[in-house]
A and B are shown apart, each in its own frame.
Chain A
Amino acid sequence: MSNQLIYMSILVASLGTYFCRAFGVLSARNISPNSPVFNWIKCVSIGVISAVIARIILFPAGILGESTSFSRIVCTLIALGVYFYFKKNVLLAVLSSAICFGILNHFL
């Protein structure tokens, strides 16, 4: 893997990513926050994010793929349980789930 190839890959990945953002700014030119299109796009955005989260938890790429599905699913339920039980405490929910995930990964 040459240095030149790595630099080119970073450039290409950056262009691919920025294209999505720049095209988004361009498309938003005539969109008002009170329009039906705006509300539809908000639903699509949250749908896409929800799809990304489901994919990361059930079919992860990268080093998260080295963990078991069981530990990921259990810790997802823990995050949700802690969030609602402790009056929507985001920090407690995220940290408790990550700590449980670390412990489960160690033993499984």
Chain B
Amino acid sequence: MFSSQPFKDGVKHAIGVPALGLGSSMFAFGAFLHSSGFDIFQSFLSTFFTFALPGQFVMAETILAGGTLLNIFLAVLLTNARLYPMTVNLTPVIRNENTSKLKQYIAAHFIAVTSWFNMFAIHRSLKQEDKFDYFVGLGGFLWANSVLCTVLGYLFSNIVSHEILIGMVFLNPMYFLIMTVSNLKEKKMITSITLGALLSILLNKIFPGWSILIAGVGAGSIGYFLFKGEPSE
């Protein structure tokens, strides 16, 4: 797999803006862990095994606030629950009849907002048998780059100013925003995106822990059922 052309093409796809957007935020996260009392090995492990930044921040903040392991598990589960529909959505797109279950479960670790958006942006131009390797190249590179950037952020946290670190964290949501806006083509997508943002803001004070899930499921369902007949791109 690692020597196949689709895998290499996936790596090439990841190098550039996708790796920069995610890597800069991971760099800032590494610096944040340094200032929070984690050691370098713990910082490495966090991104190596979790690879989902909002949940990683929640983990670190909950432990700093004196939360229990159960608090951490539930808070991270809720924060990273977006990965569930994303995985249900991406897996049928990338697998083929030769993709074993084990491979699918391993590749799932590379599913994150950045790899999801980029894979959906390109998958129609790929042959079905190439998609899995392509995704592993794309997502795997983003994951490895994130682990490296977390460690670099930890090591160089004393050199980079706090203001620059905050700016680096801001790069990633802006990249997500632009990738989301690039999906404003079908009416059901426009409705899901707009309502998702609005409902999330409205529900934040009422259900702070659940607002994202409720907003996303509600907005997506309304968008889908209102424009059910619309042909998909």
Contacts and interface: CB of A to CB of B under 8 A. Distances in A.
Given A50-B219, A51-B212, A9 B196 contact: no
Contacts of B23: none
Contact of B105 (A25, A43, A44, A90): A25
Interface residues of B, number: 101
7 contacts: A7-B45, A28-B92, A43-B220, A53-B176, A57-B173, A94-B21, A98-B174
Given A44-B217, A63-B28, A67-B170, A24 B85 contact: yes
B108 A25 contact: yes
A41 B89 contact: yes
Contacts of B126: none
B105 A22 contact: yes
Contacts of B167: 98-99, 101-102, 105
Interface size class of A (residues with CB under 8 A): 35 or more
B116 A45 contact: yes
B55 A46 contact: no
A43 B223 contact: yes
A15 B49 CA distance: 9
Nearest to A37: B88
B154 interface: no
A59 B109 CA distance: 27
